């Protein structure tokens, strides 16, 4: 007697997590993807006529600064925008059933990798687990709304909030100066100061300050409101004579290198 097929269930599929663990046990030399930490500072607050979101623009990959002018505030609906916290992301490592490492799927729905519109950053995943906080703001028929969505799925509705590796410095500014029913000018100035505090207090955050102003009638993205970390030009060239700094010791360590052979084959093109 044939068994009835199981009904598809909603939610993420983590079968590849068990697969990857089994492969690690059976193949000692297997190198699985490692978790990667990135940095960011995102913030948002409710003002008199709507919501304003802000973010820095530095995209990092572990300790490497990949890009200094990426967009971290994304369109969701005409009056709803979101800013993902890439600072708590993880490296790729599997998730979609029957696929290679790095994909995440949902049961009962369309399976596809997690992607972003920006070429330098995306929602991070590690062994199938998505790790990203979100700040979502918008205006509906009840008025301005600002939510903080945590990586495990819970959410909080708040008058102001901040996320990312620079959130402590940003929250310190918001908690000190936030007032209900602020004007747009005051809210924008406070947001810029909060993101700037995160940039100056966190090595993973940097670049300039972007913002998105959402009201009941429109939504406007504002790029490069402030650039607190502009490069400083050297006043002069520094030149030192050889031997100025003494070499106390020198050690030569041989490196074990693997020689790879590469063959290039021409292809006929009509």
Q: Would you please indicate which residues are annotated as catalytic (active-site) residues?
A: 40
Dist CA 65 CA 251 (whole Å): 31
3-state secondary structure 225-270: EECCCCCCCCCCCCCCCCCCCCCCCCCCCCCCCCCCCCCCCCCCCC
Dist CA 256 CA 2 (whole Å): 57
Closest alpha carbon to 187 in 53, 35, 30, 2: 53
Dist CA 184 CA 133 (whole Å): 26
- State both tokens at 200: 């100056």
143-149 sheet: strands from edge to edge:
74-77, 80-85, 133-140, 143-149, 155-157
């Amino acid at each position: 007697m044939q068994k009835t097929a199981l009904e598809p269930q909603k939610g993420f599929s983590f079968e590849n997590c068990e697969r990857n663990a089994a492969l690690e046990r059976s193949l000692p030399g297997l190198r699985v993807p490692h978790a990667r930490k990135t940095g960011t500072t995102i913030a948002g607050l409710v003002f008199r006529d709507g919501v304003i979101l802000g973010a820095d623009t530095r995209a990092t990959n572990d300790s490497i600064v990949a890009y200094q002018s990426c967009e971290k505030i994304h369109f969701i609906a005409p009056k709803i925008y979101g800013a993902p916290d890439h600072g708590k992301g993880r490296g790729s490592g599997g998730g979609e059933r029957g696929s290679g490492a790095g994909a995440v799927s949902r049961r009962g729905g369309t399976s596809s990798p997690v992607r972003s519109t920006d070429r330098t950053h995306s929602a991070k995943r590690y062994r199938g687990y998505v790790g990203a906080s979100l700040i979502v703001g918008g205006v509906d028929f009840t008025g301005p709304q600002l939510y903080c969505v945590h990586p495990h799925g819970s959410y909080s509705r708040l008058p102001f909030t901040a996320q990312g590796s620079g959130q402590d410095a940003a929250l310190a500014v918001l908690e000190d100066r936030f007032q209900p029913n602020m004007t747009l000018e005051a809210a924008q100035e406070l947001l810029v100061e909060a993101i700037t505090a995160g940039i100056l207090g966190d090595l993973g955050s940097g670049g300039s300050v972007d913002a998105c102003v959402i009201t009941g009638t429109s939504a406007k993205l504002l790029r490069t409101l402030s650039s607190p970390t502009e490069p400083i030009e050297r006043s002069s060239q520094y030149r030192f004579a050889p031997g100025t700094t003494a070499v106390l010791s020198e050690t030569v360590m041989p490196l074990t290198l693997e020689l790879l052979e590469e063959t290039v084959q021409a292809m006929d093109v009509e």
